Amino acid sequence: MNFNLNEAIEVLERTPTTLESLLVGLSDTWLQCNEGEGTWNALQVVDHLIECEKSNWIPRLKTILKDGNNKEFPPFDRDAHISNPSQTTVKQKMDEFKSLRTKNIGIVRKLLKDDAQFELTGEHPAFGNVKLRELLSTWVVHDFTHISQIVRVFAERYREDVGPWEAYLGVLKS
């Protein structure tokens, strides 16, 4: 096990600026390409990250920390940004994501004061009991998953263009 709150926060606080550097100012041909019908483009990935900041990580964290016995996580819809699409620009999305993330890291720092809290549990709809440290580790790896997804979607756009080099480029194999 490698989880450490300060190291986790180092990653969480970098993701918005990493995605801002990667995405803001890119042509729509990049921002709107996807991997085929039913798959997400980069803007939809950012909408999903925003939705998670609003309705997933902190509500689940607070559920684990609250008094009482009912520790069921509140509902989360991973397709909320598809059924209710936002019309904001990439710059507006990045500003919103950055602002929510900064606020949420502040909440984490304020609420978590004692290592014993990391072992507290809540009830995940599919997995049953999960620990607070697993939720926080997942938040970090969820960021990595979606950075990875965005560059994979972009790379796919050039699959034919690279010619024989396709054989050497790892991102085209994942």
Binding to a copy of itself (CB under 8 A) within 33-92 occurs at: none
Q: What are the structure tokens assigned to 150, written together?
A: 């965005």
Residue 70 DSSP SS3: coil
- Write the binding mask 130 to 149 for a copy of itself: x where contact by CB under 8 A, - elsewhere: xx-xx--xx-xxx-xx-xxx
Q: Which is nearer to a copy of itself, 2 or 70 (CB)?
A: 2
Binding to a copy of itself (CB under 8 A) within 155-174 occurs at: 155, 157-158, 160-165, 169-172, 174
Q: How far apart are CA 79 and CA 88, in angstroms?
A: 17
Diameter over CA atoms, the chain: 60
Rounded to a whole number of angstroms, the minimum distance from the CB of residue 137 to a copy of itself is: 4
- The region of 11-19, 35-43, 53-61, 93-101 touching a copy of itself under the rule CB under 8 A is 11-19
Out of 5, 22, 80, 105, the residue judged to bind a copy of itself by CB under 8 A:
22
Size of the site for a copy of itself (CB under 8 A): 52
Q: How far apart are CA 107 and CA 57, in angstroms?
A: 11
Q: Which of 87, 75, 10 is nearest to 44 (CA)?
A: 87
Q: Is 57 left (phi over 0), alpha (psi -120 to 50) or beta?
A: alpha
Give CA separation, 73 vs 1, 58, 79, 117, 163, in Å. Answer: 24, 11, 17, 17, 48
Point out which residues bind a copy of itself (CB under 8 A).
1-4, 6-7, 10-11, 14, 17-18, 20-22, 25-27, 29-30, 124, 127, 130-131, 133-134, 137-138, 140-142, 144-145, 147-149, 151-152, 154-155, 157-158, 160-165, 169-172, 174
